[in-house]
Structure 1
Amino acid sequence: MSLEAWVGLLATVGTALLSIAVAVWLEFRKRRTSGEGTAPSAPAVLRLDRVRAAGVLRAGVVHHPPLSWVDHSGGEAVFGGYYIDLARRVGLEQGLEVEFVALDWGVLPNALDDGGVDLVLSIFETRARLGYADFVAAFHKIGVSGVTREGPNPIREVAQLSEPTTRVGVVVGEVGWEFVVHELRLPRHQIVQVDSGTLKTAFSPLLSGDADVAIVDDVTCATWVRDHPGYLHVFTENSLYLCKNSIMVPKGEPHFARWVDDVFQQARRDPEIMALEEQTLELSEGWVKRFR
């Protein structure tokens, strides 16, 4: 066979093989697009549909009086505070049972995972938390400050927090912890961490002498100093951090987020809830302010 004949034969075979490959690919694409030949995927169930079908809204609660609090003294957790009553009002208006779940601050990054809660009440919106959750219903704003001992050279300036000999007490996962870890970027040996669901434990290292200052929200600081002579509430004129107090919802679920924002705003307009909000703001002695 001549060279020209061989070239012609190879060209014919190549064309045939290419035609077969194209046909096979088109058939595969058709089956994949139509779902033929593959296991059908289950339709995604929206969180709101699941909540309505079950008739239960699971709300996480951190101990953050007077906005939300958890009392374990009787064994079984008892919940109270403005956001608790607000959530109960939402349940009444939406025909849902609201199931409250006590949470420690350190578990917040995973609290909204599957099998967890649907939302978390009364939570500061911070840069770190925006990395793993979305926030809605930002009704209030609260600053972050500190407590230190009275003495000849008390800690009053932010620059003093970064001095190598300064030790700072914080609760893991709480806004004070986020501030010293992510904003000030203090080295680990300067941070005295307490892993707890109660903010007042931030002052334990201060009482024991292990810390020189404790960083937590304004309300907790003011309440603690009032009951403990010999200590100063510092960073009050210029808050270390000013946060919106919101409701934390799963990241990337806008349908559920809009619903939470809408129903909590609606419940907030209830006359009894409005009166409770006024009482709560007064009880905070001005440390909790309206955001909207």
Structure 2
Amino acid sequence: MKKIKLWAWGMVLIELLVAPLAGCQHQSVTSRANQTDTWNKISQRKTLVVGLDDSFVPMGFRQKDGTLAGYDIDLARAVGKRLGLRISFQTIDWSMKETELRNGTIDLIWNGYTKTPARAKTVAFSHTYLKNKQILVSKKATGITSPAQMQGKVVGLQSGSSGYTAYNDYPQYLKRYPRQAIQYDTFTNAFLDLNANRIQGMVIDSVYANYYIAHQKDPQSYRTLTVGFPSEDFAVGMRKGDRTLRRKINQVFTQMAHDGSLDRINQKWFGEPNQISFAAKK
């Protein structure tokens, strides 16, 4: 009996000793991310590591031959060229993006990344370079023409996405209606279930939905609905300590907006020029 008690007290003591160490380690990583400017390190290695979800069309996705393509791929490479840096794209678990950034696995989150107050607490953002909104996509066969008609049905969301955040932060628009919400690791898997009627609607970025639907065999079989979620700003996410990198990226964005380069990338992927004004940005 005494041995058991001694063992139990020993385990409690170990937990008491380990917990503060783990907390200190986390604090150290966070403090380093918030305070350390890594520009010299980045410029020496001449490479920027960009974290992305490589299934997010048209922002960053794999083509049939496995190569990366997309709006953000083109934009990141154009910015890298002007900074004299090579861009290395790293596929990540999107729900772990801020952790990967803080730990130094990646230097930037650049993949249709939405500015939010919650994210701004841990991440520094570049200038906005593209507008977006969260919409509800369904199949016309389900007859859903308003959020209220999702009553008792199943909705799909991508884990860690801004759509997931909007769905929960603004329950008055949609959340009060479905009987169940299913989370997916990618929108591609959510679309598979939507097409199979395993879910009847999905909350998704308009830029993704419009591009994906336009490239389906029967685009007319889908319906998109604006349900009231606020519009969103896409920006590049980086560590708060990387002030030099943030300044340089913002300078390049402004240059590209003024010389027409940003408009050309927008025209290529969306068929229209960029609507963001950089007149007041410095």
Q: Tell me by how many angstroms 1:141 deviates.
A: 0.3
User: Is 1:135–1:247's contact at 8 Å kept on the other side of the alignment?
Assistant: yes
Q: Give 1:22's aligned residue.
A: none
Q: Give 2:159's aligned residue.
A: 172
SS in 2 for 1:123: coil
SS in 1 for 2:40: helix
**Are 1:132 and 2:118 an aligned pair?**
no
**Are 1:200 and 2:196 an aligned pair?**
no
Q: Give 2:102's aligned residue.
A: 113
How high is the TM-score relative to the length of structure 1?
0.68
1:59-70 paired onto structure 2 within 5 Å: 59-62=50-53, 63-66=55-58, 68-70=59-61
1:147-186 paired onto structure 2 within 5 Å: 147-151=137-141, 153-157=143-147, 159-161=148-150, 163=151, 165-184=152-171, 186=175
Q: Is the alpha carbon distance of 1:114 and 1:183 closer, same or farther for their aligned partners in structure 2, counting shifts above 3 Å?
A: same
Q: Distance in 1 between matches of 2:197 and 2:171?
A: 22
Q: Distance in 2 between matches of 1:119 and 1:94?
A: 14
Report Cα offsets for 1:202-250 as digits up to 9, x if no partner.
2233223332211101133234444244332222xx6533111111112
User: Is 1:192–1:210's contact at 8 Å kept on the other side of the alignment?
Assistant: no
Structure 2 residues not aligned, in runs of 5+:
1-31, 278-282
Q: Distance in 1 between matches of 2:212 and 2:74?
A: 25
User: Is 1:200–1:220's contact at 8 Å kept on the other side of the alignment?
Assistant: no
SS in 1 for 2:114: strand
1:231-246 paired onto structure 2 within 5 Å: 231-235=222-226, 239-246=228-235
Q: Distance in 2 between matches of 1:171 and 1:45?
A: 32
Structure holding more strand per residue: 1
How high is the TM-score relative to the length of structure 2?
0.70
1:33-112 paired onto structure 2 within 5 Å: 45-62=36-53, 63-66=55-58, 68-71=59-62, 73-74=64-65, 78-112=67-101
Aligned alpha-carbon RMSD (Å): 3.1
Aligned length in residues: 236
The alignment-based identity, stated in percent, is: 21
**Are 1:221 and 2:209 an aligned pair?**
yes
Q: Distance in 1 between matches of 2:36 and 2:229?
A: 41
Q: Give 1:251's aligned residue.
A: 240
User: Is 2:155–2:180's contact at 8 Å kept on the other side of the alignment?
Assistant: yes
SS in 2 for 1:251: coil
Q: Give 1:191's aligned residue.
A: 181
Runs of 4+ off more than 4 Å = 185-189, 267-274
